[in-house]
Amino acid sequence: MMKAFHAGLLVAAMLSGQAGAASLAPVSSDVEILGRIKIAAGPFKGDCDATMYAHIDAMGRAVIEGALTTLEGKSKVCSVAKALGNWPVAMLGGNRMELQKLDFGGPGGMHCRGSLSGTLHNGKVTFAGALKGPLGVKCNVSGVLTSTPTVEIVD
């Protein structure tokens, strides 16, 4: 559950924009985001290869399609985490961004939810942070992903 949640956050950070701020290019495009993320949530910890998909609209705003996110790897976290919903990406200025409305489901109805801050430079998204889990459990996630086509910030 944690790993899928973390992967979703990374993708959202990479692809989204917010009105009144910088936007993302190429506009009106579908984007694939690939990379490795590290997830640690309760007893589930490990590295996963993440594949995410996003759409950048005509205004340069991006949304990651969390439900299409896949996590693969030998770690159990890669198989138990499930990304849910859609994740808007908010541009914060410069190369900084925030992945919003992240939601990852796991065993027993456990969810990790929240936002993650990161950066975007030449199509590479870097992020690290913690999502809120049940009963005070933190879902730590970090990673580096790359977009195809190359997503860039346009001021």
What is the average pLDDT across 74-79? 91
pLDDT (average), residues 143-155: 93
Confidence bin at 34 (pLDDT 50/70/90)? very high
Number of domains making up the chain? 1
User: What value does the mean pLDDT of the chain take?
Assistant: 85
Closest CA to 90 of 21, 33, 146: 21
Banded pLDDT at 130 (limits 50, 70, 90): very high
CATH of the domain at 115: 2.40.160
Angle, vertex CA 69, rays to CA 68 and CA 75, nearest 5: 140
List pLDDT tens digits, range 81-98: 888 999 999 999 899 999
For residues 118, 89, 124, 80, the Cα torsion angle rounded to the nearest 10 degrees is 80
Q: How confident is the model at residue 35 (pLDDT cuts 50, 70, 90)?
A: very high
- What mean pLDDT comes out for the span 76-85? 89
pLDDT recorded at residue 126: 93
Total-model pTM: 0.81
| Contact criterion met (CB below 8 Å) for 107 and 96 | no
What integer pLDDT is reported at residue 21 of this predicted model? Answer: 65
What pLDDT shows up at residue 81? 87
Q: Which domain does 146 fall in, by range?
A: 2-154
> Which tokens hold the place of 152?
């860039």
